[in-house]
Amino acid sequence: MRSGDARAQILRVIRENLAQGLEPSPPRHLAAPGSSPPVPLSVPESSPPVPLSVPERGEGRRSPSPEGRGGQGVRIQHFTEQLSAVGAQWTFVRSETEAGAALARILTEAGARRVVGSDAPVVQRILQAVGNGIAIDRLEQLSRDDLFACDAGVTTAQWGIAETGTLVLESARERSRLLSLVPPIHVALLSTRCICESLGDALARVSTSSHAITFITGPSRTSDIELTLVVGVHGPQTVHVLLMEES
Amino acid sequence: MTFDRDARAALADGQLRGALRQATTLFGERRRAALATVPDWESARDRARAIKDETLAHLDRYLEEFVANAERAGARVHWARDAAEACDIIGEIAERRGARTVVKSKSMASEEIHLNAALARRGIEPVETDLGEYIVQLAGETPSHIVVPAIHKTKAQIAALFADKLGIAPSDDVATLTAAARAALRRRFAEAELGISGVNFAVAETGTILILENEGNARLTTSLPRTHVALMGIEKVIPRFADLDVFLQLLPRSGTGQVLTAYQSLLTGTKRTPEDEGPEELHIVLLDNGRSRMLASAVTRQALACIRCGACLNACPVYRQIGGHAYGSVYPGPIGAVLSPQLFGLARSAALPYASSLCGACREVCPVKIDIPALLLHLRGQVVERGAGKSRVLERLAFRAYAAVMQRPHVFEWVVGVARRLRIMPPLAAWTKWRDLRPLAPRSFREQWRAGLRDQGGADA
């Protein structure tokens, strides 16, 4: 099999060149000034690197990290500041009833006529508050063309990242991949308990059993024409976060 | 030499230079503002470089680990020794899946292997979906910047192009132009059977590939079609999932001056159940194409640490004047000047190691601290050793004569004396064309010294 040959040959050439690289150190004048010798990252020579210990799913890992500076209140404020900075909108809600009312208002104000919700039960529940001429579709019944014709997608987000104003969506939790991308409006429901301080915190918490994890920071954007910022290219123009306050 | 000719043509293009100046200056400023948000930028750079060095030193092992984990998650991995092999692999996948249209998100590796032409030869239509790449493809051109492919085009040119190719009413409103591209590309996304993307990072520990972008086209490319092909250079692998943290701090800030790009897609294998969203098949193509050779020495190996942010382009005084096309390679700018000769052969890119003033601005901004000036010098040495550059008989003669004169003080004095009397200037056309060489002093220092400067100077000391 050709690919097998290629694999063997590429790996052989890599090993030969690495072995060669060990012998003569480069002439002094070519050695990179200032570039210190590689710092060992505590990876044993012969055994494979130790995998990150990914916390098991469950309520325990949903609680916010205690190490964040200033605690939860500060983190939530930091998160909303960053959401604004990246051009996303946000609304605090204290119950599913409030979330439904907020969603209805957002959709009506945007003039949305067709909306799709994800398969998350909470999304299905709050969508019931939406009525008055807005058609509600179910994702599993939509063709690609139907999906392209929708005005808004409603999903949850599993995590928020305060320092960057980022939403994290995991495919193992919910079918949110296309709904958070294709319609011009994306509304995401996020528990304030799931806001991490940093990117590193979020990477340590995401469920790596998801085949797709998506980090979303504000609306879709481009500066490809004369560096002029345009919001809403291939993805949503509007990202609205419903922040469910839970203590 | 084509570089000299193309660089001269670029220098004569006032519009191009204006666009370049604006873009590279703005990116430089945004980058500086973005780094200020990282508490310790320097240690982040050191850590990223250490991770890259560690990976490259054991590249065989990390690749095998990545492949095992990606395959366990349902991906199919293919190995390509060179461009032709990679194009064949991808072309055959497309044919087997019955794809007539493929949507592509931005991938420098696909530019490197000239994938679009290879697909077209099989009767498969590749559609670039990144706005900048789409503009460049419609115009029948090539990207001129790693991050902003259409940096060389004005909105008036793009308006004319869209009016011609998309049949829209001419408009110089950027939002209108962008909306027209979105609408046209949505139709292509609706029909595409295969999506091709690049890869920014591949995590050995989990078999995950990560793709960064701002527009959402990479997300559409990797989630709508039934088949996803991800093309990556073998140097893209990093050991651990947690290592993504430092690279996600460095790459967007260095590339576009963003704290984070709008989207990061972390993809691990294929969907787990039929009801899941996403492609049925994920094919990962590992491309060597000259990379493994670069592991042979510590100097050349460091170019494999590059994360393709483009910061060195924006900082380079040469790139800022001539733009990407003059380099005649898919990889322009300082990093292109060191990658191109190593990937595509010294003979084809012998002029590129000289396309630098060695000022070190590239090394200064590089998020993974690649010593590009040292690499350029190393490659210049190779160009001379292998006689790959243009023959420089006169230059060699001149240096031999210079050495002979400089080793003999009396000959030196005599030569300079003659030159002074006859007002001869050294024939350094390439140098003196743009610079004034100071005239020789009427009396040399040695003459003044002998005539009594020694006694006068002694009093002060």
3-state secondary structure A132-160: CCCEEEEHHHCCHHHHHHCCEEEEECCEE
Q: Among B206, B369, B378, whose Cβ lies nearest the Cβ of A208?
A: B206
Provide the 10 A C-beta neighbour count for residue A110. Answer: 17
A227/B220 touch (CB, cutoff 8 Å), yes or no? no
Provide the pLDDT for residue A2.
Answer: 61
Whether A36 has a pLDDT exceeding 50, the answer reads no
Task: Note the pLDDT of residue A49.
Answer: 33
pLDDT for residue A133: 80
Measured CA to CA, the distance from residue A158 to residue A171 in angstroms comes to: 10
pLDDT at B277 over 50: yes
pLDDT at A56: 36
Lowest mean pLDDT segment, chosen from B206-210, B274-278, B288-292, B455-459: B455-459
* Residue span of the structural domain in which A97 resides: 70-244
Are the beta carbons of B288 and A10 closer than 8 angstroms?
Answer: yes
Contact criterion met (CB below 8 Å) for A199 and B264 = no
CA distance to partner chain A, nearest, from residue B136 (Å) = 11
Confidence of residue B314 (pLDDT cuts 50, 70, 90): very high
A64-77: pLDDT as tens digits: 444 444 588 999 99
Alpha-carbon gap, residue B400 to B239, rounded angstroms = 51
Of residues A95 and B417, more confidently modeled: A95
Mean pLDDT of B61-90: 98
Q: Cβ contact (<8 Å) for B63 and A11?
A: yes
- Contact list in A for residue B275 (CB cut-off 8 A) is 140, 175
- Say how far apart CA B24 and CA B313 lie, in whole Å: 8
Asked whether residue A47 carries a pLDDT value surpassing 70, the answer given is: no
Q: Is there a contact between B216 and A235 if contact means CB atoms under 8 Å apart?
A: yes
In this predicted structure, what is the pLDDT of residue B274?
A: 87
Report the chain A residue with the minimal C-alpha distance to residue B212: A215
The pLDDT, as a whole number, for residue A141 is: 79
Q: Mean per-residue pLDDT for B203-218?
A: 98
Q: Do A7 and B155 touch (CB under 8 A)?
A: no
Domain annotation covers residue A183: yes
- Best residue in B219, B256, B368 for a mutation probing chain A (most A CBs within 10 Å): B219
Domain ranges of chain B: 1-37+301-390, 41-289, 407-460
Q: Strand, coil or helix: what is B365? A: helix
What is the per-residue pLDDT for A33? 41
Give me the pLDDT at residue A34, please.
Answer: 43
Confidence of residue B1 (pLDDT cuts 50, 70, 90): low
pLDDT of residue A67: 46
Greater model confidence, B396 or B64:
B64
For residue B189, give the chain A residue with the closest CA.
Answer: A144
Is it the case that residue B76 has pLDDT exceeding 90?
yes
Lowest mean pLDDT among B209-213, B304-308, B382-386: B382-386
Q: Which of B113-127, B141-155, B218-232 has the lowest mean pLDDT?
A: B141-155
How much of chain A, in percent, has pLDDT values that exceed 90?
66
Please check the confidence at residue B389 and state whether its pLDDT lies above 80.
Answer: no
Please report, rounded to a whole number, the percentage of residues in chain B having pLDDT higher than 90: 77
Question: CA-based angle B159:B160:B165, to the nearest 5?
Answer: 100
**Residue A38: inside a domain:** no
| A129-146: average pLDDT | 83
Secondary structure (DSSP) of B113-164: TTHHHHHHHTT-EEEE-SHHHHHHHHTT---SSSS-TTTT--HHHHHHHHHH
Mean pLDDT, rounded, for B268-295: 95
Q: What is the band of A177 on the pLDDT scale with cuts at 50, 70, 90?
A: very high
Per-residue confidence (pLDDT) for residue B427, from 0 to 100: 61
- Flag if B186 and A32 touch (Cβ within 8 Å): no
B1-37+301-390 adopts what CATH topology? Fumarate Reductase Iron-sulfur Protein; Chain B, domain 2 (1.10.1060)
Closest alpha carbon within chain A to B23: A227
User: Which pLDDT score is estimated for B429?
Assistant: 60
Q: B41-289, which class in CATH?
A: alpha beta
Pair B335, B362: CB distance under 8 Å: yes
> What pLDDT was estimated at residue B432?
67
Q: Give per-residue pLDDT as tens, A217-236.
A: 999 999 999 889 999 999 99
In chain B, what residues touch A172 (CB-CB under 8 Å)?
272
Q: Inter-chain contact B262–A208, Cβ cutoff 8 Å? A: no
Model pLDDT, residue B425:
64
The model's confidence at residue B183, banded by pLDDT at 50, 70 and 90, is very high
With cut-offs at 50, 70 and 90, classify the pLDDT of residue B363.
very high
> Which pLDDT belongs to residue B419?
80
Higher pLDDT, B239 or B412: B239
Which of the residues B214, B250, B362, B370 would you substitute to probe the A interface, choosing the one with the greatest number of A C-beta atoms within 10 Å?
B214
- Sort out which chain B residues have CB atoms less than 8 A from A204's CB and list them: 242
Nearest-angstrom CA–CA distance, B447 and B176:
74
pLDDT beyond 60 at A1: no
Whether the per-residue pLDDT at A58 is higher than 50: the answer is no
- Between chain A and chain B, the number of residue pairs with CB atoms below 8 A apart is 263
Count of structural domains, chain A = 1
Task: Verify whether the Cβ–Cβ distance B239 to A43 is below 8 Å.
Answer: yes
Q: Is residue A53 part of a domain?
A: no
CATH number at residue A185: 3.40.50.10420
B442 vs B60: which has the higher pLDDT: B60
What is the average per-residue pLDDT within B418-428? 72
- As a whole number, mean pLDDT of residues B90-118 equals 97
Distance of residue B455 Cα from the nearest chain A Cα, in angstroms: 41
Contact A158, A175 (CB under 8 A): no
**Structural domain includes residue A159:** yes
Task: Look at A52 and B369 and tell me if their CB atoms are within 8 Å.
Answer: no
| pLDDT-derived band at B207, boundaries 50, 70, 90 | very high
Tell me the chain A residues in contact with residue B53 when contact means C-beta distances shorter than 8 Å.
38-39
Query: Residue A142 — very low, low, confident or very high, per pLDDT cuts 50/70/90?
Result: confident
Residue B230: predicted pLDDT: 98
* Per-residue confidence (pLDDT) for residue A24, from 0 to 100: 45
- Position A20 scores a pLDDT of 87
Averaged pLDDT, A99-112: 95
Q: What is the pLDDT of residue A37?
A: 39
| Among candidates A140, A219, A224 on the partner chain, residue whose Cβ is nearest the Cβ of B148 | A224
Look up residue B167 and give its two tokens: 């049949």
Return the residue in B24, B61, B226 with the most chain A beta carbons within 10 A, the one to mutate for interface testing: B61
Between residues A181 and A132, which one has the greater pLDDT? Answer: A181
Please name the residues between 128 and 147 in chain A that touch chain B, using a CB distance below 8 Å: 140, 144-145
Q: Which residues of B16-135 form beta strands (DSSP E)?
A: 76-80, 101-104, 125-128
Mean pLDDT estimate for chain B: 92
Q: Are the beta carbons of B190 and A144 separated by less than 8 Å?
A: yes
Residue A19 included in any domain? no
Model pTM above 0.90? no
Q: Could you tell me if A186 lies within 8 Å of chain B, comparing CB atoms?
A: no
A144: buried, middle or exposed (CB in 10 Å: 19+, 13-18, 0-12)? middle
CB contact under 8 A, A233 and B278: no
Residues 6+ positions from B320 with CB-CB distance below 8 Å? B20, B21, B24, B314
Q: Do A175 and B296 touch (CB under 8 A)?
A: no
Whether A224 contacts chain B with CB within 8 A: yes
A-chain CB neighbours of B294 within 8 Å are 17
**Residue of A13, A78, A211 to mutate when probing chain B, most B C-beta within 10 A:** A211
